[in-house]
């Protein structure tokens, strides 16, 4: 007999408490999603990366080809004529180059035909 039996009578808890706890623990034991679904975010990420790569690759290849073509054209333009530079009836004027190992000359023909300006 408790001392405060009359003031604090013993109450019965509402039923179902243990079942609720068992249910909660079971729910915690189960994986939240089936295992197959766990791979879904990774697979989606991989697919997205692949699509991005596919979208980016043609543009990159085209840009690379354009750069190569431009470089080829520039090389052709800068290449000396076959047989080297020949000055016939010409005069050369030395121009300041700004670099010690570079000489710049303005070459002009003094007679008609075969005008060339070359460095």
Partner 1 sequence: MLREDALYASYRRLERPLYNVLYRQLWQAEDCQDVIHDAFVRVWERRAKVDEATLDALVWTTALNLARNRLRWRRLWRQAPLDEAEAMMEGAGDTDFLATRRLRQALRELPAAMRDVLLLAEFSGLRGAEIAAVLGIPAGTVASHKHHAMERLKALLGEPVDA
Asked whether the beta carbons of 107 and 118 are under 8 A apart, the reply is yes
**Number of helices (H), then strands (E), in the chain:** 3, 2
Report the nearest approach of partner 1 to the CB of residue 10 (Å).
6
Mark the segment that binds partner 1 (CB under 8 A) among 12-20, 43-51, 52-60, 97-105.
Answer: 12-20
Q: Please tell me the distance from the alpha carbon of residue 27 to that of residue 102, in angstroms, as a whole number.
A: 83
Q: Which residues between 21 and 40 bind partner 1 (CB under 8 A)?
A: 21-22, 24-25, 28
**Any contact of residue 14 with partner 1 (CB under 8 A)?**
yes
Closest listed residue to residue 115, CA positions, set 82, 88, 93, 92: 88
Closest listed residue to residue 110, CA positions, set 94, 93, 92, 90: 90
In the bound state with partner 1, the residue whose beta carbon lies nearer, of 17 and 41, is 17
Report the nearest approach of partner 1 to the CB of residue 32 (Å).
15
In the bound state with partner 1, the residue whose beta carbon lies nearer, of 8 and 112, is 8
Q: Please tell me the distance from the alpha carbon of residue 114 to that of residue 119, in angstroms, as a whole number.
A: 16
**Any contact of residue 8 with partner 1 (CB under 8 A)?**
yes
Residues that bind partner 1 (CB under 8 A): 2-4, 7-8, 10-14, 17-18, 20-22, 24-25, 28
């Amino acid at each position: 007999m408790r001392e405060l039996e009359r003031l604090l009578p013993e109450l019965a808890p509402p039923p179902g408490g243990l079942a609720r706890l068992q249910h909660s623990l079971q729910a915690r034991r189960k994986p939240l999603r089936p295992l197959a679904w766990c791979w879904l975010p990774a697979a989606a990420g991989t697919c997205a990366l692949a699509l991005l790569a596919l979208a980016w690759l043609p543009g990159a290849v085209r840009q690379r080809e354009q750069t190569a073509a431009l470089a080829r054209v520039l090389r052709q333009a800068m290449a000396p004529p076959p047989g080297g530079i020949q000055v016939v009836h010409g005069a050369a004027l030395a121009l300041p180059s700004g670099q010690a190992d570079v000489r710049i000359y303005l070459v002009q023909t003094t007679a008609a035909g075969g005008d060339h300006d070359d460095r």
